[in-house]
Homo-oligomer: A and B are copies of this chain.
Amino acid sequence: MVERRAASLKQQRSIETREALLSGAARVFSDLSYSGTRLRTIANESGISEGAMYFHFGTKAELANAVLAEQQERMTEVLASMQEEEGDALEKLVLLMNRLAVLISTDRIVQGGIRLAADPNVEITADARDPYFEWIAIAQSLIEEGVRDGSIRADVVPAAAAEYANALFVGAQVLSGLEDGWVSFPSRIDRLTPFLRRELGD
Contact = CB atoms under 8 A, between A and B. Distances in A.
A129 B178 contact: yes
Contact of A35 (B33, B166, B170, B188): B33
Contact of A167 (B32, B129, B160, B192): B192
Given A168-B171, A199-B199, A33 B120 contact: yes
Interface in A146-199: 160, 163-164, 166-172, 174-175, 178, 188, 191-192, 195, 198-199
A74 to B, nearest CB: 20
A121 interface: yes
A178 B33 contact: no
Contacts of A168: 164, 167-168, 171
A61 to B, nearest CB: 12
B170 A174 contact: yes
A134 interface: no
Given A33-B33, A172-B167, A198-B199, A191 B160 contact: yes
B36 A120 contact: yes
A119 interface: yes
A198 to B, nearest CB: 7
Interface of A: 31-36, 115, 118-121, 129, 132, 160, 163-164, 166-172, 174-175, 178, 188, 191-192, 195, 198-199
The 6 A-B residue pairs with the shortest CB-CB distance, nearest first, are A171-B171, A167-B171, A35-B35, A35-B36, A170-B171, A33-B33
29 contacts: A31-B120, A32-B35, A32-B121, A33-B33, A33-B34, A33-B121, A34-B35, A34-B36, A36-B120, A36-B121, A118-B178, A129-B178, A160-B191, A163-B188, A163-B192, A164-B168, A164-B192, A164-B195, A166-B171, A166-B175, A167-B167, A167-B168, A167-B171, A167-B188, A168-B168, A170-B174, A174-B174, A198-B199, A199-B199
